[in-house]
Chains A and B, each alone.
Chain A
Amino acid sequence: LAKTTQPISMDSYEGQEVNITCSHNNIATNDYITWYQQFPSQGPRFIIQGYKTKVTNEVASLFIPADRKSSTLSLPRVSLSDTAVYYCLVGDDTGGFKTIFGAGTRLFVKA
């Protein structure tokens, strides 16, 4: 399983764009990159998944360079309600028993 490294915490202000980078140097050919979001006192929630280049949905964008050794989750114009822990996961089984959640990045959005 590919190990991921992401910052422990980040601070931002409302209205700013936030970019959280995840390193996964030993990502395998079959691996996908998946991000989850967890609000306090709730379970994690899937937000986006990608394999290469760029993926965008209504919540976030995911940028993956050609070598796939890192990825960046981009949250446009964050609000206070985006304060949460964001987890980067890498694997070919991102919804199965091999899915491993690390410590994640704690994002704190200030007014």
Chain B
Amino acid sequence: DVKVTQSSRYLVKRTGEKVFLECVQDMDHENMFWYRQDPGLGLRLIYFSYDVKMKEKGDIPEGYSVSREKKERFSLILESASTNQTSMYLCASSFVAGGRTGELFFGEGSRLTVL
């Protein structure tokens, strides 16, 4: 089974701190994604990556950056955390075959609280 592992289930940080959220997948998937999920707003795409060192902005990239130095690892960075970044963060991966992407595999999520 595909396993997508997020480094922390729960984090509490202070405003202005730099925050790293790590995600690792073990199935050699090309695509990796970071979403945030907030009540009433559904899942919103922050950044995605389709290859090592490649990254593309999603719908809400402001205040975030990402890093993908190895195929299996995709990191989300909050350079200076703010209270409006309190949210559930979800990492996902998917494979590419025959020009189409397979389904998304999600991690269990990281619930970040910024005080």
Contacts and interface: CB of A to CB of B under 8 A. Distances in A.
A46 B103 contact: yes
Per DSSP, chain B at the interface is strand
Contacts of B42: 101-104
Interface in B46-105: 48, 50, 56, 58, 90-92, 94-95, 100-105
Given A43-B92, A101-B42, A102-B42, A94 B103 contact: yes
A45 interface: yes
A66 B59 CA distance: 34
A45 B108 CA distance: 10
B43 A94 contact: no
A97 B100 contact: no
Interface in A94-111: 94-97, 99, 101-104
Interface of B: 4, 31, 33, 35, 40, 42-43, 45, 48, 50, 56, 58, 90-92, 94-95, 100-109, 111
A43 B103 contact: no
Contacts of B111: 41
Closest 3 CB pairs of A and B: A43-B106, A95-B94, A95-B101
A41 B43 contact: no
